[in-house]
Every structure is written in structure tokens, then in C-alpha cells.
């Protein structure tokens, strides 16, 4: 029996309308703005904006601050992504063991940072990282180490931000990895044990291959999340010192909402979109080849 067209429209129509209003139309408007010099004056009168073609993109390629923000974002991605995945998978494996006590307590403890307000977290971390009375430097002082100026030194500012984003992201990924681990059939481990495999060999040759879809999903979502890094550097350092924690999205925010160069900010947004799309596409291709 065929479903009537009216019923199909009634079910999916509201979702499509919301998708158009809040996603597709804003994307098209932003793409259009990226080819104009839309600024604060054009907000009140759109006739003040003029079509300038690819000039925003040309200026972006010559903008040293954009390249600085891009390098900072890639630095955070390259360091934070493997740390997040390794820590999340390690903790998930520990929590999945039958001999681990207080599993629910640890799961909740790890997951809480991912649902806690970033502003509140940033305030606490700013206190912890304070060079004079922060908890981290106080602890380092107990073992005879002089702690650095975490948020005031360009060499330590980005590592401080990375510590926060990894700590915040690990809990959510632990839940995903735990779900993946619980779906691995026991007979695979039993067969490997009969073949004389050690715990490490079972983890390497049974657990990792069985978790490949979960690892792929976590990797893709982690890359997308870290390329959109904004809240943590904005709240902790504001992009400083000396733009050492300036991310692409934070730079986009500055151009669009501080200097009101909305056309230029839109071009940054679409360059970021192309980067995310390209990396995701490459990962999907690599993932298919590995599975094959």
C-alpha cells in the first residue's frame, strides 16, 4: 500500500521548512555576502553594499592574521584530536572491564564537563591557570617546579586552551566508545584467547578493528569540532597573547561582529566550510579503502 503524497508532505514538510529557514537560506545569503563589501553601513541600507567579486577571498589569502589563525587552529587540531581519541578510548576500555568498580560514577564524572556551560568552565580554568594563586602552579610548586604564566605566555597559551578542550571533549567520546565496546561479540575475544593472544594483541586485532566505525565517527566529529574552535580561546584569552590562541572562528567573529566587515567574515566562513568538507571527504575515502 502506497503512502499518500499528502501524508508524506505532512510529516516531512515542517522539517524541510525549518531546514530552509534556519540553514539553507542563511548559507546562501552568507555566500552572497562573501562577494560583496557588506559592512556596518550596509546593515541600515543595503544599497551601500556593492558586488566586488572575489576580492574578499583575494584579500584573505594575503591576510597574515588569517594565516596565523589557520596555523593556530591546525596546531590545536593536530595536538588535541589524537589526545582526545586516545584518552577517550583508553578510559572507555577501562570502564568496560568487569573488574572496574563504580563505573556509573566515573561515567557521569567524565561526561559532566561536556554538558557544563563553557563560560562557567572557563572561569574555573582561568583561576586554576592563574600564575600567582592558581591551583596548577600551586601543585607544581609543591614538587619544586616553577609554573609558567599559562595564559599570559604565547608559548603556553595554546597548550592551556588545548588542555581545556580535551578535558571537555573526552567524556562525550568515552560514552561513544563504551557503546561501541559493548557491541563487540564475546566470541571474538574467546577465539583470540584460544589462539593464545595476549590482552594487548586482543585489543589490537579484535577491539580496534571492531571499533572502526566508531573511531571513524569520533574522528570526523572531533575534526569538525576543533576546526570550529571558538568558545574556549574567546573566554580564556580572547585570542591573545599576541594572537597566539586566535582561531579561525574567533577571527571570523572579530571581523564580523567587532569590525562589522560582514562580507569579509562570510568569505572566512566559506573557506572554513571548504576545509571541513575536504577533510571529511578525504576521511570517508580513506575509511572506505581501509574497510575494503
The pLDDT averaged over each successive group of 10 residues in the chain (292 residues) is 71 84 86 87 77 91 94 95 94 86 86 88 91 89 88 93 94 92 87 84 88 90 92 91 93 91 92 89 78 60
Contact criterion met (CB below 8 Å) for 92 and 100 = no
CB 231 within 8 A of CB 164: no
First and final CA of the chain: distance in angstroms? 38
Cα 114 → chain centroid: 12
Looking from the CA of 45 toward its CB, the CA atoms found within 13 Å total: 3
Contacts of 74 (CB under 8 A, 6+ apart): none
Is the bond preceding 241 in cis, omega lying within 30 degrees of 0? yes
The residues near 272 (Cβ < 8 Å, ≥ 6 apart) are 227, 228, 248, 249, 252
Pair 127, 149: CB distance under 8 Å: no
Task: Identify the DSSP state of 47.
Answer: G
pTM of the predicted model, to two decimals?
Answer: 0.88
Residue 249 exposed, middle or buried by CB count within 10 Å (0-12, 13-18, 19+): buried
Specify burial of residue 248 (Cβ count, 10 A radius: 0-12, 13-18, 19+).
Answer: buried
Q: Residue ranges of the alpha helices (H) in the chain?
A: 5-19, 25-33, 40-44, 55-61, 64-95, 103-115, 118-128, 135-142, 154-182, 186-194, 199-202, 208-210, 212-227, 231-236, 248-253, 262-291
Amino acid at each position: 500500500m502506497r503512502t499518500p503524497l499528502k501524508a508524506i508532505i505532512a510529516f516531512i514538510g515542517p522539517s524541510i521548512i525549518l531546514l530552509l529557514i534556519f540553514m539553507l537560506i542563511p548559507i546562501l545569503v552568507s555566500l552572497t555576502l562573501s562577494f560583496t563589501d557588506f559592512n556596518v553601513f550596509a546593515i541600515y541600507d543595503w544599497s551601500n553594499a556593492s558586488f566586488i567579486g572575489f576580492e574578499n577571498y583575494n584579500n584573505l589569502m594575503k591576510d597574515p592574521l588569517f594565516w596565523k589563525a589557520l596555523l593556530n587552529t591546525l596546531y590545536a587540531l593536530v595536538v588535541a584530536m589524537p589526545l582526545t581519541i586516545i584518552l577517550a578510548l583508553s578510559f572507555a576500555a577501562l570502564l568496560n572491564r568487569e573488574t572496574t568498580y563504580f563505573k556509573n560514577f566515573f561515567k557521569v564524572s567524565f561526561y559532566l564537563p561536556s554538558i557544563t556551560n563553557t563560560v562557567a568552565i572557563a572561569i574555573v580554568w582561568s583561576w586554576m591557570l592563574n600564575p600567582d594563586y592558581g591551583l596548577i602552579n600551586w601543585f607544581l610548586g609543591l614538587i619544586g617546579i616553577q609554573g609558567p604564566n599559562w595564559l599570559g605566555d604565547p608559548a603556553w597559551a595554546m597548550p592551556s586552551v588545548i588542555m581545556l578542550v580535551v578535558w571537555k571533549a573526552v567524556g562525550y567520546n568515552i560514552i561513544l566508545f563504551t557503546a561501541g565496546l559493548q557491541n563487540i561479540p564475546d566470541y571474538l575475544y574467546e577465539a583470540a584467547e584460544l589462539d593464545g593472544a595476549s590482552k594487548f594483541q586482543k585489543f589490537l586485532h579484535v577491539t580496534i578493528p571492531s571499533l572502526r566505525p566508531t573511531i571513524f565517527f569520533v574522528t570526523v566529529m572531533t575534526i569538525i569540532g576543533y576546526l570550529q574552535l571558538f568558545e574556549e580561546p574567546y573566554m580564556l584569552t580572547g585570542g591573545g597573547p599576541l594572537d597566539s590562541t586566535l582561531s579561525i572562528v574567533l577571527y571570523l567573529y572579530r571581523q564580523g561582529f567587532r569590525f562589522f566587515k560582514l562580507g569579509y567574515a562570510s568569505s572566512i566562513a566559506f573557506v572554513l566550510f571548504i576545509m571541513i568538507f575536504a577533510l571529511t571527504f578525504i576521511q570517508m575515502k580513506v575509511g572506505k579503502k581501509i574497510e575494503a
